[in-house]
């Protein structure tokens, strides 16, 4: 792990200077004995920059600290997760389907949307679902300073606690993006950072069949499945495809013998 306060942007800034220095030295013909040292420094700098960025955006990247994208287990359990809501009428429709099928899920809610639709949050809690923190305004935390990150996270946790009575223990940073500072601030708040192992790009509305097929094909034991009942803070896009897909995903996974648990449950160590 890196120094706790490092930002991805600072790492990339330092690497850019190293790359430029390497290229300049190569251009000037310095250190060009048996190998072109300057050029190699520049190439390694670019590779390192790509790697540091990938670790911040790939759901399974653990370089900046512990994140959970799936769980290794021999049990046929999976966790459905829904991001960006609550967002009527879709969140309510998804809650209806989950209830009909007796399936618990985890909702990573946007604080601003939760404030608008507290009754949907209450319903999630009452019907046995877990509610996690997905920031207040769905901001890319890589671009936010320390104070803004604190506000985004703390305000949302307080809203969730006020409505449901429970302080969230899970967080999913918007887009899953994190760097050392983001990870450190989540750890200080005892928030477990949850990513995902199955994504169907349902947020692009690629068609119900596509969402269902992608999800069923990628799901394994211990999978954390990413879906969207909301649409950031804009709340413009339809989530009708996701609603229709959820019904078929539950049916398909049940037929394959899977049972559904919340993220909190799936993360518990096996007895
Ligand atoms: Zn989101």
List beta partners, residue 177. none
- Parts of the chain with a pLDDT under 50: 1-2
Give the Cα separation of 90 and 75 in Å (integer). 31
Q: Give me the pLDDT at residue 32, please.
A: 75
Lookup: tokens for 11: 């790492």
Give the Cα separation of 253 and 95 in Å (integer). 18
59, 203, 259 from 179: Cα distances, Å? 12, 24, 33
Q: Give me the pLDDT at residue 5, please.
A: 75
Q: Give me the pLDDT at residue 34, please.
A: 77
CA atoms within 13 A on the CB side of 252: 17
Listed by start position, the domains of the chain span 8-57, 67-267
Q: Which of 84, 179, 228, 229 is catalytic?
A: 228
The 10s digit of each residue's pLDDT in 14-63 is 999 999 999 999 998 877 777 889 999 999 999 999 999 999 999 999 99
Distance (angstroms) between ligand 1 centre and the Cα of 84 equals 5
Distance (angstroms) between ligand 1 centre and the Cα of 139 equals 9
228 is known as an active-site residue: yes
Residue 163 CA, distance from chain mean position: 23
Q: Give me the pLDDT at residue 46, please.
A: 96
Q: Give me the pLDDT at residue 1, please.
A: 47
Opening angle at CA 194, ends 268 and 102, nearest 5: 60
- What CATH code is assigned to 67-267? 3.20.20.370
**Predicted TM-score (pTM) of this structure:** 0.93
Q: What is the DSSP string of 207-232?
A: -HHHHHHHHHHH--TTEEEEEESSBT
Distance (angstroms) between ligand 1 centre and the Cα of 121 equals 16
Give the Cα separation of 116 and 64 in Å (integer). 34
């Amino acid at each position: 792990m890196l120094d706790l306060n490092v930002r991805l942007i600072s790492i990339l800034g330092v690497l850019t200077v190293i790359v430029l220095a390497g290229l300049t030295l190569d251009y000037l013909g310095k250190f060009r004995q048996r190998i072109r040292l300057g050029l190699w420094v520049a190439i390694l700098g670019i590779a390192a920059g790509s790697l540091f960025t990938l670790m911040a955006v790939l759901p399974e990247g653990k370089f900046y600290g512990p994140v959970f994208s799936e769980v290794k287990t021999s049990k046929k359990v999976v966790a459905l997760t829904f991001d960006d809501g609550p967002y009527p009428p879709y969140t309510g429709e998804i809650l209806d389907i989950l209830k009909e099928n007796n399936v618990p899920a985890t909702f990573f809610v946007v604080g601003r949307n939760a404030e608008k639709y507290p009754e949907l949050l209450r319903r999630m809690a009452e019907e046995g679902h877990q509610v996690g923190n997905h920031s207040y305004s769905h901001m890319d935390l890589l671009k936010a300073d320390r104070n803004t990150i604190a506000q985004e996270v703390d305000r949302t946790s307080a809203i969730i606690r006020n409505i449901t009575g429970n302080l969230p223990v899970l967080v999913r940073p918007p887009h899953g993006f994190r760097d050392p500072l983001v990870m450190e601030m989540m750890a200080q708040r005892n928030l477990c950072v949850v990513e995902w192992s199955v994504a169907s790009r349902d947020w692009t509305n690629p068609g119900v069949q596509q969402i269902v097929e992608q999800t069923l094909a990628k799901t394994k034991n211990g999978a954390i499945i990413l879906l969207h009942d909301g649409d950031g803070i804009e709340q413009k896009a339809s989530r009708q495809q996701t609603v229709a897909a959820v019904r078929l995903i539950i049916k398909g996974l049940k037929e394959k013998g899977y049972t559904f648990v919340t993220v909190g449950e799936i993360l518990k160590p096996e007895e």
